[in-house]
Every structure is written in C-alpha cells, then in structure tokens.
Homo-oligomer: A and B are copies of this chain.
Amino acid sequence: MAEKSVPTRTVTGRALAVLDTFDAKHRRQSLASIARRAELPLTTVHRLVHELENQNALVRGSDGDYEIGSKIWRLGLLASVHSELREVALPYMEDVYQLHNDAVQIAVLDGLRCLIVERIAGSRTLEVISKPGSRLALHATGVGKVLLAHGDAELQKAVLNSLDRFTEQTITDPGILETQLKTIKVQGFAKTQEELAEGAVSIAVPLRGKGGNVIAALGIVAPSDGRDLGKLVPVMQVTGAALSRKLVEAGLGDAARLQAGS
C-alpha cells in the first residue's frame, strides 16, 4: 500500500526518493534540505542530485537551490492523466462551472489519497486547497469519498484505520464513514460539509470506465453560504454519466492507466 517511507535499498528508489522530496510546499530546496527530507546521507544525496542535474531532471538556480527540471516536466506532459483525461473532461467541467461559478474538479485514486487531475475555478474562489497535482485525504473530500466508496476492501480498510481530523466536521469514526460509503455507492453521489476546510461544501459523482468500473470522480466545491447544493446532484449525475461515456469512447476506460497506487 506504499505511503510508508519504505527506505528503498535500490539506487533507483533513492533517486526517486530525492525527487519525491519536492512538493508544492518545497518547490525549491537546498541540498541539505533534500537530504533531510529524503532521510539519506548528505554525501549520497549530493551525488544523486548531481547526476539528476546533469540529466536535466533537476535544475540548480543561481542561489544554489534545486528544483524540478525540464526533463521531468516534459515527461510529465506525456502522462495520460494529464493530456488525455484533461482533454476529454475539460468541456464538461466547463459546463458545470458555468452554472454557478463554483470550483469544479476531477480526481483519481493515488495510493491512499485522491489526486486532483484538473480543476476549474474563478479567481475569487475561497482558499485554494486543491489544485492540479494536489493529493487530498479520501475521507474528507467529495471526490475522495466517491473513490473510496467504490474502492476495494483493502483500500477501505487502510483508510478507515487512520482518519485524520481537519475540521470540527471531519468524520473520524470508521463506523460512521463506512455507513456513509455504502449510501454513496447506492445513491451514486457523495457530499461533504466543511469536513476538509471550514466554509466549503462539496458534491461529487463517480466517473465510470469500461465495464462500469469507477476510474475517477467529478466534484464541485462551493462556499457554504446556505445555498442548497443538493439541487445540483441531478446535474452532476447527468454530466458524470455523459463524461463517463466519452471517456470509454476515448479509450480511457481502463482504470489501470489512470489510477496510480496499488
């Protein structure tokens, strides 16, 4: 189930561990910072980083800090989560966005979290917790709950055993969440009420691929201003179904190609 910082004993693993120290909060790092975060000896990191730099996997700024280089960027654009799903889904997301200008997003499963693949939002949207590339908790987001509800037993078990709290409303009781998941599976949509961040509510529906497997989730996030998001459920479900059909047509119905973790 990954997620553990398995102290890989292979060189490739170490190299990836080095790259993995980079995230939205650490886009530029010093050598020492990389070493600390990767939990590897400074000398080893020093060598690896140099190698990665020579190959343009990392770039070194004039201040000595490293950041992700053009090679990784170029390769990343080839991922089908990026170009394909994005291309097919954007028009549909745009439609939903037009309704009330609420943030619209699509997510896939990535290990024990959900990975935001694409997102449309106005500039005046609340706090931006999620943007493409973010990985959020499965139990506190609409899209996450949908993916979790349709996930296998192993995944559910792993997630239910470690429910982090984010707000007053976050569901941390495995029993309650389990019941919700069952409802979500039956009703075909999930909702959250300020469970990840105060003032934000969401609705999400599954996107299905070949054979009806859930391969992604489509969600809408809005400020909790008393408006009844429930009214949007039918629209979301219709859009979700239409998009699902398109995804299968486009040959993206294969979960293995979109999803990530085991």
Contacts and interface: CB of A to CB of B under 8 A. Distances in A.
Interface of A: 2, 10-13, 15-16, 19-20, 22-24, 27, 48, 51-52, 55-57, 59-62, 67-82, 108, 110-111, 115, 132-133, 135, 254, 256-257, 260-261
Contact of A133 (B67, B78, B80): B78
B78 A82 contact: no
Nearest to A70: B260
Number of copies of this kind of chain in the complex: 2
A115 B79 contact: no
B12 A71 contact: no
A77 B133 CA distance: 7
Nearest to A16: B55
Interface hub of A12, A13, A256 (most chain B Cβ within 10 A): A12
A126 B160 CA distance: 52
Contact of A51 (B12, B48, B70, B254): B12
5 contacts: A24-B78, A68-B76, A72-B75, A74-B133, A76-B79
Given A12-B15, A48-B12, A79-B68, A115 B74 contact: yes
Interface hub of A27, A48, A55 (most chain B Cβ within 10 A): A55
A237 to B, nearest CB: 27
A77 B73 CA distance: 7
A79 B72 contact: yes
Nearest to A133: B77
Given A13-B51, A51-B13, A79 B67 contact: yes
A11 to B, nearest CB: 4
Contact of A70 (B55, B69, B71, B110): B110
A68 B83 CA distance: 11
Contacts of A70: 79, 81, 108, 110, 115, 260
Contact of A12 (B11, B69, B76, B78): B11
A62 B2 CA distance: 21
B79 A23 contact: no
